[in-house]
Amino acid sequence: MTTDLLFRTDPYLQQAEAQVIGHTREGGILIDRTVFYATGGGQPGDSGMIDWPGGRLMIATAVKVEGGLIALVPAEPVPMPPVGTVIAQRLDWTRRYRHMRMHTALHLLSALIPLPVTGGQIGADRGRLDFDMPEPPSGLDALNAGLEALVNRDLPVTDDWISDAELLANPGLVKTLSVMPPMGQGKVRLVRIGQGEAQVDLQPCGGTHVARTGEVGHVEITKIENKGRQNRRMILSLMD
């Protein structure tokens, strides 16, 4: 049995019922379906709370467990709901939505700077992408203007699925140098920004995104750091 990833089909879903199907030795709660995104791909796991008859606890994060399961990690060591309990999941939606905006913004940044990505991290206020870039870019104002233009085009953000074999046959879809998309389940999710001739980005990704780039809002590259001879780190900040 694997955990049904409800956020995959509807990233705007904020609450849903689930059944507890087990507990991990570390104190995690295994559930059959989840609105909580589990830490992965540079995106933090979601936080929030769960309720059940006679109990409530805060969830600090969600993590992946071997076998395709997701475990909710309590914020403090308190009694957990027993196996078989039906719980109500409620996201910290403010935090999740900012992650969705930031994740989409980082995809736009990778489209704006067509260089291999060596690392990345998503936060509620700041995010980063590291690029294989021998020299730092000139014209930060121009880069921010380009980013703003992509946001303001209000492009649709959609997904498609391809097979593992199709991905291996099209290695150019993978922008990251250090991490390959999760494979082995027969299919890989692609996130597409724009459609047809207006497409600006297409890459494998398992994270959560907004439905249109206009939802990203005001975002800026606020800092560029030198992280090695050919590694430049772009810090991106949500400004509202």
Distances (CA, A) of 69 to 33, 66, 72, 182, 190: 9, 6, 10, 15, 22
Written as six digits, the tokens of 215 are 């939802």
Written as six digits, the tokens of 201 are 């980005």
Angle at the Cα of 121 from the Cα atoms of 143 and 130, rounded to 5 degrees = 50
Rg of the chain's alpha carbons, rounded to an integer? 19
Query: CA–CA separation, 15 vs 3, rounded Å?
Result: 16
Query: CA–CA separation, 205 vs 208, rounded Å?
Result: 9
Please report where in the chains the tokens 């494998």 appear, as a residue: 204
Task: Give the tens place of pLDDT for each residue, 82-119.
Answer: 999 999 999 999 999 999 999 999 999 999 998 999 99
How many other C-beta atoms lie within 10 A of the C-beta of residue 220? 16
State the 10-residue block means of pLDDT for the chain, 240 residues long.
94 98 95 97 96 96 95 94 97 98 97 92 96 85 95 97 80 67 72 96 94 98 88 94
Q: Dihedral angle at the C-alpha atoms of 220, 100, 127, 233, nearest 10 degrees? A: -80
Under 8 Å between Cβ of 217 and 97? no
Question: 31: phi > 0 → left, psi -120 to 50 → alpha, else beta; which?
Answer: beta
Q: What domains sit in the chain, N to C, each tagged with a CATH number?
A: 4-91 (2.40.30.130), 96-238 (3.30.980.10)
Give pLDDT, residue 89: 98
**pTM for the complete prediction?**
0.93
Contacts (Cβ under 8 Å, ≥6 apart) of 59? 36, 46, 47, 48, 49, 50, 72, 73, 74, 75
Query: CA–CA separation, 77 vs 55, rounded Å?
Result: 13
